[in-house]
Structure 1
Amino acid sequence: MGEFIKDIVAVIVLLCMPSHAWAADATPPSILISPKKIVPGGLMVVTVKNAVGMVEGSFRGKQLHFNPAKGAFKAVTGIDLNTEPGPYQLALSVDGTPLARDVLIVKKRYPVQRLTLPEDMVVLSPENEARAERDQRKMASIWPVDSLRVWSGRFIDPLPGKALGTPFGVRRIINNIPKNPHSGVDINADEGDPVQAPNDGVVILVDDQFYSGNSVVLDHGQGIYTMFFHLSKATVKYGQAVRKGDVIALVGSTGRSTGAHLHWGVRVQGAKVDPLELIKLKLD
């Protein structure tokens, strides 16, 4: 009976040990945050190595989605263009152990663009203003959805080989009035040029909107969305599954546009980020 009681006590002691008590001969988890400079409008990748179980985390109130990647776990999150620079905390749980890391978001200076446009393109009529507000609400309803991963491997350029026009983050001053910064990249192209899906995804919006004209939005899962504006035509339908490289639309100049081009936008967990940063990433 004495030995039995000793065994029971030993089991209880093991169960009560803190979850962070990794085996003495085990390599503790390592956490890498990249790139070295985290900026508004950029992406942050968190890599956890030497984890043997589950990896979870959050940053600025958003859940991180960790995926296996060459012997490690990797998650990507967006730093919105309007994020205030400063210190923030990354919260992690690795094999049941809570961990934290400090993250410093540093200021990035984006260029300023001054434009002069006809007054009727800047000051909206009550009817157009009401329509633009409806469009904005419709678009905003998309971002809270956090669906399962559909994307696979690296994201690709939707218009490969084309020159860039207005870059991401440009602070626009139109008719001497400051406007919202440019939340995507403009790609110079000809009317009717085919637009490719940057990765596998599902079509969650096909709509004619006041500012963006004919628009398509793809949900790639885990909070990654890509947007395509000013299209002459969408070649996909709402709810359709697409594969990386599929033609989803044709370049146009619809909506508030002064010439044929593609406005390409990316949101990662609701954050407006530079699309060019997304296609640089090796996510697997």
Structure 2
Amino acid sequence: MRPYTVVLIVPTGVGASIGGYAGDALPVARAIAQICDRLITHPNVLNGAQLYWNLPNALYVEGFGLDKFAAGCWGLQPVHQNRVGLILDQGIEPDLRLRHLQAADATRATLGLNLTDYVITDAPLNVELRTAASGASWGTIGNPGSLLRAAEVLIQQAKANAIAVVARFPDDLGSYALEAYRHGQGVDPLAGAEAVISHLIVRTFQVPCAHAPALTPLPLDPNLSPRSAAEELGYTFLPCVLVGLSRAPQFIINSKTSLSPSPHP
């Protein structure tokens, strides 16, 4: 008998009432995982900054890869454990970079994750945030070639088969969008740009990828929404990304129907 499989998708950066914040779709994913044999979903659903939940029957699939799977172009191969490579944006300040490296070390020592050496991009990625007329968030990468070169080093030299990216995102302290998001009333201003980063790597290299933004810690807010609180527990959102990628399925590529990977810019 074929396993009963459910695909759970929550659009990114559109202000979804469930799943539009910091891991607030995890309770839904946990409930669905209990009534199906296999749950296929994406990082926007399962990532909760420093919080995560082990769902043994869930597959953590980046959005572009999930699109290709749904179109019948790519298959998904479950794994025991991936070898995860970490890319750090050159634009991250030294102290903030060290916080992320210590978070990676913690997942290696405490959770037993298999991580390669990290790579710092050869130029700042220069992420910029945008908001569409509809209110959805999106963004651009100023130096996509630098990102792809770093990923290539990890894949070819360090033998990574999954890629975690930490890019320096603009601090937008005091903006209306950020305040609304922190109070559970707005759109995640970072999510759209995060998707651009992971899509680029998955499209080019056909390996699992997820992203965690690097940001200056925000001042305490006594009115913080519980749905946004997971992102304010510490200095980094990286732990959930590394955990998710450690067991993310590998892609099985159907060369007859799959698009060729994009050339490096």
* Same-fold status (TM-score > 0.5): no
Higher relative contact order (CA closer than 8 Å, sequence separation 6+) = 2
The TM-score, its normalising length taken from structure 1, stands at 0.25
Q: Which structure carries more helix by proportion?
A: 2
- Output the TM-score relative to the length of structure 2: 0.26
Larger Rg: 1
